[in-house]
Chains A and B, each alone.
Chain A
Amino acid sequence: MIINGVEIEDTFAEAFGMSATRLIITAINERWARIAGETMTGFATSVIGCGVEGGIESILNEADTPDGRPGVSVLLFGMSGSVLGKQLEARAGQCVLTCPTTALFSGMTDGEPLPLGKNLRYFGDGYQISKQLGDQRYWRIPVMDGEFLCQEHTTRKPAVGGGNFLVLAATQAQALTACEQAIAAIARLPGVITPFPGGIVRSGSKVGSKYKALMASTNEAYCPTLRGLVRTQLSQDTGAVLEIVINGIAEEEVGWAMRTGIQAVCELGSAQGIQRISAGNYGGKLGRYHFHLRKLLA
């Protein structure tokens, strides 16, 4: 399959089952809501080293938030509900509670309950106030700029992590430009995030290492500087490879985001140095979800 001169490799992305939650952070204006969201998801690129993977799903206007203020929707993904819960509590406490003017709400109603303000309330040292509105409980925690309002629970549900595709281009700049275009297109989609810096990964990894302590190491088959030294997957004129990793609430949303991103890359075409689209997998043995590139784009 070739689109606009770009070869779509006959391979698939292998993704994993994860546990996800959606949160809504509001603040006095979008700037501060975004700061809180970016801080909460700042060190959340990969479960390998960060515990969870996270990102800002969308920017919300006043009409779409529980308290009528500007906000952001954040998605967090963990390999298990317990890890997700611990990370959520730490990140909510250190990144949102601390951020001026913010309030924190659940962005999902279905799924298993996950404590949000349930334990954060103790920061109020006995001066916290509970408010039950219908079947939802909120905590008003006194802080130095007024009150931090936090919903008692959010929910978590099964999700998909690790949808991906690789962009192979003639130069580093061309690969980056193409990926930036893909990220801009994916950012408009609901239910998905791209957890890596700017949504793009340059250090694609393989499982294992020659060093026993490491569980993952560089994927030498896609490193252009190792061409000639290892069994490479790159042609002679490939100058750089970048990867986009996509996590989503549902399998369909991840697949749709991959398709959207690849199409955005292919719009630039071979004329802009884009050579091939590939994907990362582990032979299909580790992940539950397989996204075949050619099926997605058919």
Chain B
Amino acid sequence: MSPFVPQRLASMRPRQIAAITLHQGNRTLPAGELFDVTGSPGGRIVIQSDSELLDNIGMGMADGELMVEGQAGGYLGRGMSGGFLQVAGATGIFAGSAMSGGRILIEGNAGDLLGGAAAGERQGMRGGFLHVRGSAGDRAGDRQRRGIIVVEGNAGDYAASRMVAGTLIILGQAGHQCGLDMRRGSLILNSKPKSLPATFNVSGGHQLTFLTLLNQYLESHSAPWAFPGNSRIRRWVGDLACDGRGEILIQA
């Protein structure tokens, strides 16, 4: 589904869009055989589908709006650099992978490796704002380098694994071994995770001014606050097996 991005379709007529070739398994076929294409040229695309097989929706998106009224497959918004991508349902693996800008809102659940690095890549998400109203799978924020991920629900195991920098916020329950191999960056949790690696040290209770700014930023993106900026948080530092300048902030 990677051709279906606003910057490419903005000036195309429905007939031209219907002729765009898509891959289905080992076949290629025109989009018109899979979709009814209607509307007029512009910067907003709506995809109506309830298939979880539509991979690469919004891949490389640079501007405009893309709405998915239904579910999405894997690699949603991969490499996205701008614009707004919204999915009404759930998404597959690697949503927001390698994105460097723009905003993704997933109303349902997200699969594993949310904002994570694909095989062979040294960095996952590199910027932008990735917001999941549901829960996320394992390894959310894997090798994240910059940007903010908010998961309103729960997250699977190994959240923020191999994180390089950036911010991952989990408001529900986080799974086991959060922050494994984390180098830098912030993992912010509303409650204690199921477990932490033994290579994290407790840094004590703190009040951090930057949380107020973070809350304001979240509010401006219609996301809930991590927790009140003047509240006291408990800070863990690590992963000491791997640079050790990352932090896990847990509401005290």
Contacts and interface: CB of A to CB of B under 8 A. Distances in A.
B245 A131 contact: no
Given A133-B213, A138-B210, A67 B146 contact: no
B64 to A, nearest CB: 19
A5 interface: no
Given A67-B229, A68-B229, A133 B214 contact: yes
Mostly, the A contact residues are strand
Nearest to A66: B213
B70 to A, nearest CB: 30
Contacts of A67: 209-210, 212-213, 229
B127 A129 contact: no
B210 A132 contact: no
B182 interface: no
Interface residues of A, number: 19
Given A132-B127, A132-B146, A149 B210 contact: yes
A138 B167 CA distance: 13
B165 interface: yes
Contacts of B186: 129, 131
B212 A140 contact: no
A131 B167 contact: yes
Contacts of A126: 245
Given A129-B184, A132-B127, A147 B146 contact: no
Contacts of B148: 133
Contacts of B207: 146
A67 B230 CA distance: 10
A130 interface: yes
A131 B214 contact: yes
Contacts of B184: 129
Nearest to A130: B165
A134 B217 contact: yes
Nearest to B217: A133
Given A127-B245, A131-B167, A138 B208 contact: no
Contacts of B147: 132
A22 interface: no
Contacts of A132: 127, 146-147
B208, B210, B220, B247: which has the most chain A beta carbons within 10 Å? B210
Contacts of B209: 26, 67, 69, 103, 146-147, 149
10 nearest interchain CB pairs? A133-B217, A67-B212, A149-B209, A68-B212, A67-B209, A103-B209, A149-B210, A140-B210, A131-B210, A133-B213
Given A69-B209, A133-B148, A147-B208, 13 more contacts: A66-B212, A67-B209, A67-B229, A68-B229, A126-B245, A129-B245, A131-B213, A132-B147, A134-B220, A140-B210, A146-B206, A146-B209, A149-B209
23 contacts: A26-B209, A66-B213, A67-B210, A67-B212, A69-B209, A69-B212, A103-B209, A126-B245, A127-B245, A129-B184, A129-B186, A129-B245, A131-B186, A132-B127, A132-B146, A132-B147, A133-B148, A134-B217, A138-B210, A140-B208, A146-B207, A147-B208, A147-B209
